[in-house]
A and B are shown apart, each in its own frame.
Chain A
Amino acid sequence: MSRFFAIVWPLAGALLLGVSGHAETQSNVVILSTTTSTQDSGLLDVLVPMFERKTGLTVKTISVGTGQALALAARGEADVTLAHAPGVERKYVEDGKMSNRRLVMYNDFVLIGPPEDPARIKALPSAVDALKRIAESQSRFVSRGDKSGTHVLEQGLWKQADIEPRGAWYIESGQGMGQTLGIANDRRAYTLTDRGTYLAFAKRVDLPILVEKDRPLLNIYSVMEVNPANGPRVNVAGGKAFAEFMLAPETQAVIKAFGVDRYGQPLFVPVAGKKDEDL
């Protein structure tokens, strides 16, 4: 037993030191709270190292649903936020929790569903009309149900359709976009998805795009800085540096080209300097 402890104590000490060894001083750390779609698309894996090389700062990317990303920022637990729920974002800006909201890029959402199309929505110009038909025919629809940007947009569409979706046909997955696509595919249901994730899953999902290119289906990503009043440890300068970086011409050029090699088409359209009403 003494031999046991003679081994265990130094080992534990050494491992703990090794583990905590590269703790960075926090002023060099920028916490970015963002949505899963930016992470899952792989875009941040390209942009974050670029930013770190340029500034010498370390970014900690916390990718969660848009709802949680903004809630964390409002508590001062992040320094900058990249989100895609304009309505919710504007509310945080009005409440003074976030500031300097600027558009970074957009892509779009598409309504997909089984090829048999039981609700007959194919090629409808309006996503709201399509949802009305889905609800009327009680065709299965899978919702994210997780306050993500996608879910917020979907709720907005239901509201415009003046429908409160409920019933056995309305399935809430409570999971990320990838898992939700899997469920929709399995249940032969309709769902709303961002085009990027859909392209990434295209091989495994045989639900064609039925409705697209309607203005409310635009998926707009904005960057916001965190109000230092939200908490004592907000890294204001670091957050601002990341926001500026996202809008810099060089970064926007990378965004424009991103995804072409893998999907044959870009996943995002950069729009730095534009306003919501320009789109």
Chain B
Amino acid sequence: MGLFGQGILEALRLLVTGDPEVWQITWLSIRVSATATLLSLLVGIPVGALLALSRFPGRAFVVSLVNTGMGLPPVVVGLFVTILLWRNGALGFLELLYTPTAMVTGQLVIAAPIVTGLTLAAVQQVPEAFRLQLLGLGASRPQMIWVLLKEARLPMLAAVMAGFGGVISEVGASMMLGGNIKGSTRVLTTATVLETGKGNFDVAIALSVILLLITFLVNWALSAIQQRRRG
């Protein structure tokens, strides 16, 4: 049997036997990335909606900044946030480096532009005429934004999926900000790097399979919501 077969068997074995370390790593991955994604929604949806609806000088520049941010390399985010969080760095007094909170911070920086950019695109694709009609019917501005967001909620679910997918799969920022500490900040991606380095390729493949499984389940659930509402 090939290495992949061995790896998939190993994944099943680890999941079925309930290997406590693997469960702990998996649960931390979900917790960190879900938190970062939810926080990025709180930042990204309002900022994206406002950017979509407002007109001001330099708006095009800000929009291209956001779009660039959608492709921020996690390793760059990791490096910059690490330097900020160093004991002797600007935010060192918070003593956050090598904690899950530091990883959430890094992933938030990665996911927020993705959610902002996709929200911006989603709100913008609602026809201008619809917006004017709302205002014409006497809606206040907050009411109008509310209705627009409701209208754009399906594409915005795509923003959630893209944000979550981006952060749960990144390794650079998690490695630097968490330090891949056993029992504390080790997540699926960093554990995969470690096991590969150790030559435990079957375990590494098993961890990758678990990671893919989680990403699939989350996206499957979100897609189900998205498609049901469409129906």
Interface residues of A (CB under 8 A from B): 1, 4, 8-9, 11-12, 15-16, 18-20, 23, 26, 31, 36, 39-40, 42, 45, 48, 60-63, 75-77, 176-179, 181, 197, 200-201, 204, 231-234
**B-chain residues with CB within 8 Å of residue A45 when the two chains form the complex:** 182
Question: Quick check: B199 and A204 within 8 Å, CB to CB?
Answer: yes
**A-chain residues with CB within 8 Å of residue B194 when the two chains form the complex:** 39-40
A12 to B184, CA, bound (A): 20
Question: Quick check: B150 and A179 within 8 Å, CB to CB?
Answer: no
**B-chain residues with CB within 8 Å of residue A177 when the two chains form the complex:** 197
Question: Quick check: A20 and B99 within 8 Å, CB to CB?
Answer: yes
Question: Quick check: B150 and A176 within 8 Å, CB to CB?
Answer: no
Given contacts A1-B149, A233-B87, contact A8 B179 (CB under 8 A): no
Question: Quick check: B196 and A178 within 8 Å, CB to CB?
Answer: yes
Question: Quick check: A11 and B38 within 8 Å, CB to CB?
Answer: yes
Question: Quick check: B99 and A77 within 8 Å, CB to CB?
Answer: no
Contact among B35, B39, B98, B100 for A62, CB-based, below 8 A: B98
Question: Quick check: B197 and A62 within 8 Å, CB to CB?
Answer: no
Question: Quick check: B199 and A201 within 8 Å, CB to CB?
Answer: yes
Interface residues of B (CB under 8 A from A): 31-32, 34-35, 38-39, 41-42, 86-88, 92, 95-101, 104, 146, 149-150, 153, 179-182, 184, 194, 196-199, 201
**A-chain residues with CB within 8 Å of residue B199 when the two chains form the complex:** 178, 181, 197, 200-201, 204
Question: Quick check: A19 and B32 within 8 Å, CB to CB?
Answer: yes
Prevailing SS type, chain A contact patch: helix
Question: Quick check: B35 and A76 within 8 Å, CB to CB?
Answer: no
Given contacts A23-B99, A176-B197, A201-B199, contact A77 B87 (CB under 8 A): yes
Question: Quick check: A31 and B98 within 8 Å, CB to CB?
Answer: yes
**A-chain residues with CB within 8 Å of residue B87 when the two chains form the complex:** 76-77, 231-234
**B-chain residues with CB within 8 Å of residue A48 when the two chains form the complex:** 182
**A-chain residues with CB within 8 Å of residue B197 when the two chains form the complex:** 36, 40, 176-179
Within the complex, the shortest CB–CB distance from A114 to chain B, in Å, comes to 20
**Leading 7 A-B pairs by shortest Cβ distance:** A12-B38, A15-B35, A233-B87, A20-B101, A178-B197, A19-B100, A201-B199
Question: Quick check: B92 and A179 within 8 Å, CB to CB?
Answer: no
**A-chain residues with CB within 8 Å of residue B198 when the two chains form the complex:** 40, 42, 178, 200
